[in-house]
Amino acid sequence: MRNKKKFSILLFSILLILALGTGYYLYHKPGTLNSFLLNNYNKENIEQIEIRSTLSRQDKSIKDKAKINEILANVSNIKLVRHYGSTANKTKGAIHIYIYDKSRITTEIIIQGKEYINIINDYDNSNKEYKIIDNSLDLDYINRLIS
């Protein structure tokens, strides 16, 4: 009887650990900006990208389709994992990338330093925060675009 109770406790513990591990994996599944946002976006409908820096107070509007595709190709490979904590006061400046579809802003990507990205998507009314992993953001490329 005692061995049966120990076995039941051990089996329950193993199942609980497996369930928590699976939940954690699914909850923190890594991906790219492309898989989290751009895959579901019709890139042909993008008419303009506007980039603003809160630190340097510079901005640039890009309407050339070739340049828009170059920018999307560059940022689409940023590796991300969903972040559920606060990103307040993590950086002193941010870069805002506004994506215009049919003359209105449909998506805003806020890059906070080299650590966090916030995506505000008008299509599904979502506001999600991500942590940048593997140092995959080329911040120099984005800064060159607005300087």
Q: Can you give the pLDDT at residue 52?
A: 92
Q: Can you give the pLDDT at residue 145?
A: 86
More confident: 123 or 112: 112
Q: Is pLDDT at 25 greater than 70 in this prediction?
A: no
Give DSSP secondary structure letters for 32-75. Answer: EHHHHTGGGS-GGGEEEEEEEETTT--EEEE--HHHHHHHHHHH
Q: Place 54 in a pLDDT band, splitting at 50, 70 and 90.
A: confident
Q: The whole model's pTM is what?
A: 0.75
Task: Please state the rounded mean pLDDT for residues 100-104.
Answer: 80
Q: Place 96 in a pLDDT band, splitting at 50, 70 and 90.
A: very high
Residue with tokens 């806020």: 110
Whether CATH 2.40.30 fits 28-146:
no
**Which residue from 138, 104, 128 is spatially nearest to 37, judged by alpha carbons?**
128
Q: Can you give the pLDDT at residue 22?
A: 62
Q: Is pLDDT at 65 greater than 60 in this prediction?
A: yes
Q: Place 39 in a pLDDT band, splitting at 50, 70 and 90.
A: low
What does the domain layout of the chain look like in residue ranges?
28-146
Q: Place 86 in a pLDDT band, splitting at 50, 70 and 90.
A: low
**Which residue from 68, 83, 98, 71 is spatially nearest to 31, judged by alpha carbons?**
83
Query: Tens of pLDDT along 113-138?
Result: 888 888 888 877 888 888 888 888 88
